[in-house]
Structure 1
Amino acid sequence: MSLFRRKDSPNWWIELTAPDGRRIQQSTGTSEKVAAQELHDRLKTQFWNEKRLGIKPNRTWQETVLRWLSEQANKASIETDKSHLRWLDGCLAGKYLSQIDRDLISQITVARGLPYEIARTKGRPRQITPKTSTVNRTLEVLRAILRRARDDWGWIDQCPNIPMLKEPIKRVSWITREQALALLNALPDHQRQMVRFALETGLRRKNVTHLAWSQVDLIKRQAWIHPDQAKAGKAIGVPLSNEAMQVLRQQVGKNENWVFPYRGKPVTQVATKSWRNALAKAGISAGFRWHDLRHTWASWHAQDGTPLNVLRELGGWATSEMVQRYAHLSTEHLAQWVNRRTGVGMEIT
């Protein structure tokens, strides 16, 4: 190791050899030689301990996050992870992994659920209380990073248990066929065609709005979603029903690249004023989201007797757990059993 100065910097620099053999040059961040020498000696001792004694270096939360982000750059939900990490930075900035224990996890859990204010362009700030699901998603990101640091990188020997909060069980939001027809009649044409296609295929919003003609084979009656477009990261084959084929034929010729163009480009926003107005005209709750079209598609399939394992494959879900939410809507496999037991044997007058 050596301590030196560079012509382009007033600070002292360190040149060292890491335990894995890499040559590293880094600034000490100080122009004081005594302070720089202290850092030099501390790093020299740390690296000796790592190499000779097998003692793991005490990694910071910041360098852990940087490595996590570099390895997860292609993750479909990376932007959501980043939003949780920005919040966690307020609790863990400057912390070492060894300092993240059960007590700190408990403090983070409580803090994440506290109300906060967001600024408005006009009027007073609006207070937001995070949902239990938001707290859990933040904790899941933290848990995933710590487990990666333990299992894959060997940066820590153990990580604390991170319990999740109990989330309320929500009903699946779906509409009837009559409501769907009323919604379609109330929408402008470009949205109507996308909604029809979504109700026939169960595809997620962006897979519909950004569907390209290169992903469609009208002769074989199929479409496909590429792995980088799918939430689970796996390609999805989409068999096309008669209704879906009718929609596509009506879209032919409107744009060379995109199946559902609006003014020559894909739609980027679906929760528009026209969408809200159509919900009101159709008598559907204002809380009905575009993603609920996917729930509606799956609910109709379950009611019509589509086996759940088939439904899982059609919907491109990664696990069977995601499909179980629709199980209660399918009772055909139980119908043969309900009349097998003996009744009370009397007429009710």
Structure 2
Amino acid sequence: MKLKEKPSYTWDEAALRWLDEKSHKKSLRDDESRLIWLQSFLRGEKLSEIDRTMIDRIILEKKKEQSSPATVNRYLALVRAILKKAVKWGMVESVPSVQLLQEPKRRIRWLTREEANRLLRTLPEHQAELARFALATGLRQGNILTLEWAQIDLQRAICWIHPDQAKGGKGIGVPLNTEAQSVLKRQAGKHERRVFVYEGKPINQVNTLAWRKALVKAGIENFRWHDLRHTWASWHVQEGTPIHVLQELGGWESSEMVRRYAHLSPDHLSKWAENSSRVTNTSQGQLQLVV
């Protein structure tokens, strides 16, 4: 009796199943866009025949487009995730190892308080209010632009981001400091539902010509709107906010994301630094550094 042959699945079948199972993902459109690009390399390929040579070709083609290692890695990570899922789904027994490219660590861009004040003075008032709220709460751009009055309790000085609005898929409670409260009080009555509006209409974009002109006028280079969140976190660390507290305030899933800011406040290490710098008096009355 001849054993029934195991069906041979293709990349297309695995990719379609991935999209179906991940239909709830906020970044699904990004996956779809990357899969369309990947189709020219993997369309119709049997999962059992996808090898390192094919993966290397994908890397080479993305590099030809002058893509950064981070961009290439997003494509590789998607391929790796789908292939690993294919093994779990029983579509294939094994898949090639997909190693991501090494990414250079970038310096975190943040503003000093003087720079921030300079920027706020040059921005149009409605954008300055958005920036003030970002610097006071650390909220992401999308969460601020879509913020509704139903998400705010000024009496308790708190607002909240619902799980389906949060990047990590978990709800975030945001304490409102005095600056954030002042911004909200100035927005009261401008719109029935949305908090931040311009001429009675919700604001849907911040990277405008006015924003870019204000940066130039304020003499601030290489700065994006998201860097306001980096600035908020950097100020917190410099003022002594513990890393684990900052993680909860910012809604980060892992402590690794927050430790990017730890180097900005090495004060807690100062007493230990003295262990390698013991100074004693010499017989000549001079100081001698003992290491």
TM-score above 0.5: yes
Task: Please state whether the residue corresponding to 2:160 is helix, strand or coil.
Answer: strand
Q: Distance in 1 between matches of 2:265 and 2:224?
A: 23
Aligned partner (choices 277, 290, 300) of residue 225 of structure 2: 290
1:76 and 1:233 in contact (8 A); partners too: no
2:260 aligned with 1:260 = no
Could you say which residue in structure 2 is the equivalent of 1:66? 16
User: Which residue of structure 1 aligns with residue 283 of structure 2?
Assistant: none
Distance 2:53 2:276 in 1: 55
2:85 equivalent in structure 1: 148
Aligned partners of 2:36, 2:152: CA distance in 1, in Å?
A: 39
Shift of 1:317: 0.8
SS, match of residue 237 in structure 1:
strand
The CA deviation at 1:339 is 3.0
Please name the residue that 2:246 is paired with.
311
Matching residue within 269, 274, 286 for 1:334: 269
**Equivalent residue runs for 1:194-343 within 5 Å:** 194-285=130-221, 287-343=222-278
CA distance in 1 between counterparts of 2:12 and 2:140 reads 34
| CA deviation profile, 1:153-189 (whole Å, cap 9, x unmatched) | 1211112100111111110011101000000010111
* Alpha-carbon separation, structure 1, partners of 2:9 and 2:199: 51
Partner of 1:184: 120
SS of 2:128 mapped into structure 1: helix
Distance 2:276 2:82 in 1: 53
CA-CA distance at 1:140 after TM superposition:
0.4
Distance 1:276 1:213 in 2: 29
The answer to whether residue 13 in structure 2 is matched with residue 76 in structure 1 is: no
Q: 1:92 aligns with which of 38, 42, 59?
A: 42
Task: State the distance in 2 between where 1:321 and 1:81 align.
Answer: 25
Partner Cα distance (1:339, 1:245) in 2: 43
Q: Cα deviation per residue 1:218-245 (whole Å; 9 max; x = unaligned)?
A: 1110001011111111101101101111
User: CA, structure 1 residues 310+61, in 2 after alignment: closer, same or farther (shift >3 Å)?
Assistant: same
- 1:90/1:195 CA distance change after superposition, 3 Å: same
Q: Where do residues 2-151 of structure 1 align in structure 2 (5 Å cutoff)? A: 53=4, 55-115=5-65, 129-151=66-88
Cα RMSD of the aligned pairs, angstroms, is 1.7
Q: Larger relative CO (CA 8 A, sep 6+): 1 or 2?
A: 2
Residue 102 of structure 2 corresponds to 166
The CA deviation at 1:337 is 2.0
Shift in alpha-carbon separation, 1:339–1:91, aligned structure 2, 3 A = same
In structure 2, do the counterparts of structure 1 residues 98 and 218 end up closer, same or farther at CA, with 3 Å as the change threshold? Answer: same
Distance 1:111 1:303 in 2: 43
How far off is 1:308 after superposition? 0.7
Amino acid at match of 1:168: P
- What TM-score do the two structures reach when normalised by structure 1? 0.78
Residue-by-residue CA offset, 1:4-53 (whole Å, 9 max, x unaligned):
xxxxxxxxxxxxxxxxxxxxxxxxxxxxxxxxxxxxxxxxxxxx98xx64
Distance 2:26 2:259 in 1: 23
- Identity, % of aligned pairs? 52
- Is the contact made by 2:48 and 2:94 (CA closer than 8 Å) also made in structure 1? no
Structure 1: 5+ residue stretches without partners: 1-47, 116-128
Verify the 8 A CA contact 1:56 1:156 in the aligned structure 2.
Answer: no
Amino acid paired to 2:84: R
How far residue 312 of structure 1 moved from its aligned partner, in angstroms, is 0.7
Q: Kindly provide the amino acid, as one letter, of the partner of residue 150 in structure 1.
A: V
Q: Secondary structure at the match of 1:150?
A: helix
> Contact (CA 8 Å) 1:187, 1:275: kept in 2 or not?
yes
Shift of 1:347: 4.2
